[in-house]
Amino acid sequence: MPTTVIDLDDLDLFVSGDPYAAWTWLRENAPVYWNATSGGGGYWALTRYEDVVEVYRDPSSYSSRNGTVLGGSYRSATDTASGQMLICSDPPEHRLLRQHVHKAFGAPMMERAGGFVRRYLGAALDRLVADGGGDFAVDIAPLLPAGLLAAMFGIGRDDAMRLLGLTRTMIGYRDGEYVGANTSSMALVAAQVEIFDLLADLLDRRRQEPGDDLVSMLVAARTNGRALNESQILYNALNVAVGGNETTPFTASAIVETLIGDPGQESRLHADPGLLGTAVDELFRWTSTNAYVCRTTTRDVTIRGVPIPAGETLTLWNASANRDAEAFPHADRLDLGRTPNHHVAFGVANHRCVGMSAARLEITLLMEELLARGLRFRLAGPVERLASNFMLGIKHLPVELA
Ligand code: HEM
């Protein structure tokens, strides 16, 4: 038994502690764990690969309607996003919404996005090289989603950066650096209101002058002749913006930190860029930026002999499942040539990340640009992490050229 009780709600564990050690203990000793919270409630935490995958695959017993982030946005059962926004809907609504959102990630859009990302990223990397280093998390990583957003929303770089700042407040609403003097819940609400205003304005413009961007596609979407209503359009545009803005930049910074810490694997990739395909997947497994997602039980269930009543919150820890030795040989070792690699960094089954192709594109472009320039880094200062147990984020990553 550990000498202290593991608390997955303790943000210090994620800022300055070692959540991987906590997950290893949980996988081995308490794979179906009741994590009590300070308010008197709590949630169940599943940390083994097999259990996490099984729950993902059974949306009728484990619902997404109450949202997928603990205490964050869209957790209330009465929230209007429930059933309207992809990530917090269940079949059959989910399938209908998903087919419309999925269309926006087609080949022409990805090609356009790739062009923007490469341009923004190339210029930023050239500046970093000229300066001899910088803060990778601030100077480079945000350019990945900025390029994607510019293409998907048909907006300019400045608007893309503004949207990025707002979604960052939503995800980092428990971190003082992102919310300033506001209390966390005020900051969350204020950011949501501002994003909705921005998206509503975009929706008005696209209704008058349709383009080939995501919002125009959602306006034109029809199911049996019926259009999406205004809140469905706004919520799903928001879902793409939030889903895409935080995960990839934090993943990019985590990858750079990982490679700095494992120069052997980094040299292997530089010596053989043909490894890039398997390397990108292994880096997604290793970094697992989206640490967990939530589900709510719709009926009484039993997992590994533990009875769980209907209406309880379950957290599925992707980051832990991806280090489960029963699913991955030498799970605690980074192996850029790993294959097969059935990681769950993007989730599994019907809700599996609809932006996965975009994330792959962004991270592949980043790695290509680093390899093409022969760029390797050294740490030039302390790494600062986001106060969040949901997003394994790096806020500051000072680097110099190695
Ligand atoms: C490394 C990058 C990324 C990671 C680790 C990641 C992770 C995830 C995970 C774990 C889910 C499943 C949620 C669940 O089952 O409840 C998900 C869903 C989703 N992601 Fe991502 N994501 C990434 C990038 C992106 C990007 C680039 C976009 C959009 C541009 C995006 C948009 C979405 C959306 C809209 C959903 C909801 C899908 C659904 O419910 O059907 N994500 N993502």
- State if residue 64 touches ligand 1 by the CB under 6 angstroms criterion: yes
- How confident is the model over 335-364, as pLDDT tens digits? 999 999 999 999 999 999 999 999 999 999
Mean pLDDT across the stretch 378-398? 95
Residue 346 CA to ligand 1 center (angstroms) comes to 6
Instruction: Give distance in angstroms: CA of 250 to centre of ligand 1.
Output: 13
Task: Give 356 Cα–ligand 1 centroid separation in angstroms.
Answer: 7
Residue 141 CA to ligand 1 centre (angstroms) = 18
Nearest Cα residue to atom 3 of ligand 1: 247
Closest-CA residue, ligand 1 atom 23, reads 247
CATH of the domain at 124: 1.10.630.10
Q: Can you give 202-257 as a three-state secondary structure string?
A: HHHHHHHCCCCCHHHHHHHCEECCEECCHHHHHHHHHHHHHHHHHHHHHHHHHHHH
61: which 2 tokens? Answer: 């017993």
Q: Is residue 325 part of a domain?
A: yes
Count: domains in the chain = 1
Residue 2 placed within a domain: no
> Helical H runs in 305-385?
318-321, 356-372
In this structure, the residue with its CA closest to atom 32 of ligand 1 is 243
Q: Is residue 111 part of a domain?
A: yes
Task: Determine, yes or no, domain membership for 382.
Answer: yes
Residue 225 located in a structural domain: yes
The model's pLDDT over 98-128, given as tens digits with 9 standing for 90+, comes to 999 999 999 999 999 999 999 999 999 999 9
Whether 1 maps to a domain, the answer reads no
Distance, in Å, from the CA atom of 145 to the CA atom of 139, rounded to the nearest integer, reads 13
pLDDT digits (tens, 9 = 90+) for 191-241: 888 889 999 999 999 999 999 999 999 999 998 899 999 999 999 999 999
pLDDT for res 177: 75
Per-position b or e across 131-152, b if 16+ CB within 10 A of its CB: eebbbbbebbbbbbbbbbbbbb
154 ligand 1 Cβ < 6 A: no
Query: What range does the domain containing 310 cover?
Result: 11-401
Nearest residue by C-alpha to atom 36 in ligand 1: 353
3 in a structural domain:
no
Asked whether residue 4 is domain-assigned, the answer is no
Determine whether the shortest distance from the Cβ of 251 to ligand 1 is under 6 A. yes
- State pTM to two decimals: 0.95
Residue owning the nearest CA to atom 43 of ligand 1: 353
At 381, the amino acid letter reads G
Instruction: Give yes or no for residue 3 having a pLDDT over 90.
Output: no
